[in-house]
Amino acid sequence: MLTLRAANLRDLPVISHGFFGRQGGVSRGIYSSFNCGPGTNDDPANVTENRRRARVALGASALNTLYQIHSPTVVSVDAPWSIGPQADAMVTKTRGIALGILSADCAPVLFADVEAQVVGAAHAGWKGALSGVIEATVAAMEAQGARRSRIAAALGPCISQANYEVGEEFRARFVAADAANAGFFAAGTRAGHHQFDLEEFVAARLVHAGVANLSRLSTCTYAHEAEFFSFRRATHRGEGDYGRELSAIVLP
């Protein structure tokens, strides 16, 4: 099982976390092998087993994931659920419930305030990050007693700038929101196209939200096929679906 851990979360007391790659599960074919996405067309029994393995590895009694919609919506978790609500981030003080983010190029972000014993998890694709999912997660943690000055955040594997080509309309949307966002784009190899740095953009939103204790894994999901699922890679190949990797944090 491929499980990456962030340096600033790894040694924190009362916290267990992991950025799980695609290895170590039971799924087959394009979902091989550690697909944790119930919204895929994978065999549900395989997804259930993969999620069980992740839960056990985390030392959690339950694993909650969301019906992710690329929004800034955050929910508070106080009990296990079988079907998650439509949202893109969660926070909790409840022990034993792992907060899981599903991704395949978007940036998963895990949060922890050890003193307040509050954890959070966010799904930060470009749309959610631009609309404020990072800031909303930090605010929701503060509502449960955390302080942003104490929060440690870890930014997990996501698509790199080198592999994230976008059109002019995409760039214009960011620049219209804030002219400084132009700095997250480099010239593309094709006319009228640009390379977008999702990781750097999400990191900047975290810093702007007052989260100074930040760790980045800086690992590209598109480039490392053996280790990670990638929506864009599957799209470029004309594959009908793609697996989802899991990133999760828990107060065990």
Q: What pLDDT does residue 1 have?
A: 82
Tokens of 48: 């259930």
Any bridge partners for residue 190, and if so which? none
What predicted TM-score, i.e. pTM, was given to this entire model? 0.97
Phi/psi region, residue 164 (left: phi>0; alpha: psi -120 to 50; beta: rest), is: beta
In 3D space, the residue among 11, 79, 22 whose CA is nearest the CA of residue 53 turns out to be 22
Do the beta carbons of residue 176 and residue 239 sit within 8 Å?
A: no
CA distance 87 to 191: 36
Q: What pLDDT does residue 2 have?
A: 84
Residue recorded with tokens 């439509």: 86
Tokens of 143: 């509502």
Q: What pLDDT does residue 178 have?
A: 97
pLDDT one digit per residue (tens) for the chain, 252 residues: 889 999 999 989 999 999 999 999 999 999 999 999 999 999 999 999 999 999 999 999 999 999 999 999 999 999 999 999 999 999 999 999 999 999 999 999 999 999 999 999 999 999 999 999 999 999 999 999 999 999 999 999 999 999 999 999 999 999 999 999 999 999 998 999 999 999 999 999 999 999 999 999 999 999 999 999 999 999 999 999 999 999 999 999
CATH architecture type of domain 3-160+197-247: 4-Layer Sandwich (3.60)
In 3D space, the residue among 87, 97, 88 whose CA is nearest the CA of residue 118 turns out to be 97
Domain extent listing, the chain: 3-160+197-247
Sorted by sequence, the CB contacts under 8 Å of residue 135 that are 6+ apart come out as 72, 205, 208, 209
CA distance 127 to 110: 18
CA distance 86 to 112: 22
